[in-house]
């Protein structure tokens, strides 16, 4: 059902890295500092201003805590927790407090997961044919998958992407979103084309990006380490997790939702 007269707010970030090979062309997937998956996630937030207020209030409270204030990450000059929340860099005590607050935001989370061993196989096949697997192409395909079924539910959309490097890819991302709309319309025989504004920012500038960072970190721990406690603390916020390359049962991958709850035991073991 359409949210009449409303703007729907989306916040998009990634987890993992695109590294597949070393300089000699050997796979280094799963080595120290190299992930085995790439994830792209979106948080739909009903009230971004409320989210910003809650996170600002929590950060001020933590900075005033004598137990935490001496931590290096709490020093403004370090450019970490003192300025914005980032699950990988935040201290365990900070992370615990953030996870306690996340369910209050009413976020709806969707994530696309790609397995890097499958991407490496594809990259080798393209290389043999004189072509290249481009990082931007993989990313844009994930954007299209992520947004295929969620851009028609309000009068207009505002999509914030975490800034990737120094390049401005706004036009390419908008094209990916337009393709997602077209795929939805073909699938359902409709002609929805809600106005969609694309923006980019760093997480320190956009609290919604800090939210999706935490949800992605929790899911990545589940996939790559089989560690479920962080994910379980916010499980109810995840609406759809698309494990695209787990084609054991369906050619389009394994989709986890309320009807098919995810667990460490269900996830196909990762390679690498």
What residue spans define the domains of the chain?
3-48+105-256
pTM for this model (two decimals): 0.93
pLDDT at residue 173 in the model: 83
CA distances from 260 to 91, 112, 229, 251, 255 (A): 33, 16, 19, 17, 7
Is 80 exceeded by the pLDDT of residue 2?
no
Confidence of residue 172 (pLDDT cuts 50, 70, 90): confident
Mean pLDDT, rounded, for 219-243:
98
Task: Write out the two tokens for 60.
Answer: 């001020």
Contact in structure between 18 and 38 (CB atoms under 8 Å): yes
How far apart CA 207 and CA 53 sit, in angstroms, is: 9
Q: How confident is the model at residue 167 (pLDDT cuts 50, 70, 90)?
A: low
The residues facing 240 across adjacent strands are 110
- Which CATH fold topology does 3-48+105-256 show? Nucleotidyltransferase; domain 5 (3.30.420)
Q: What average pLDDT score do residues 131-154 get? A: 93
pLDDT for res 224: 97
CA distances from 192 to 155, 180, 185, 189 (A): 10, 11, 7, 10
Q: Which of 6-10, 184-188, 232-236 has the lowest mean pLDDT?
A: 184-188
Averaged over 48-55, what is the pLDDT? 97
């Amino acid at each position: 059902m359409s949210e009449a007269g409303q703007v729907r707010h989306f916040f998009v970030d990634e987890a993992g890295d695109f590294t597949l090979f070393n300089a000699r062309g050997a796979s280094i997937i799963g080595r120290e500092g190299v992930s085995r998956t790439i994830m792209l996630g979106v948080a739909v937030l009903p009230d971004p201003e409320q989210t910003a207020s809650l996170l600002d209030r929590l950060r001020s409270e933590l900075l005033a805590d004598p137990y935490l204030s001496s931590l290096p990450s709490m020093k403004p000059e370090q450019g970490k927790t003192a300025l914005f929340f980032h699950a990988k860099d935040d201290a365990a005590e900070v992370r615990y407090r953030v996870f306690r607050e996340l369910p209050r935001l009413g976020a709806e989370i969707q994530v696309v997961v790609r397995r890097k061993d499958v991407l490496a196989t594809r990259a080798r096949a393209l290389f043999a044919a004189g072509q290249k697997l481009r990082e931007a192409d993989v990313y844009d395909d994930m954007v299209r998958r992520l947004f295929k079924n969620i851009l028609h539910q309000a009068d207009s959309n505002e999509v914030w992407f975490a800034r990737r490097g120094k390049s401005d890819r706004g036009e390419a991302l908008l094209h990916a979103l337009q393709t997602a709309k077209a795929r939805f319309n073909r699938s359902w025989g409709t002609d929805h084309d809600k106005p969609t504004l694309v923006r980019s920012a760093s997480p320190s500038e956009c609290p919604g990006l800090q939210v999706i960072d935490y949800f992605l970190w929790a899911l990545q721990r589940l996939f790559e380490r089989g560690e479920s406690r962080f994910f379980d603390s916010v499980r109810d916020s995840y609406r759809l997790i698309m494990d695209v390359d787990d084609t054991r049962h369906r050619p389009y991958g394994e989709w986890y939702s309320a009807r098919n709850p995810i667990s460490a035991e269900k996830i196909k073991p990762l390679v690498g």
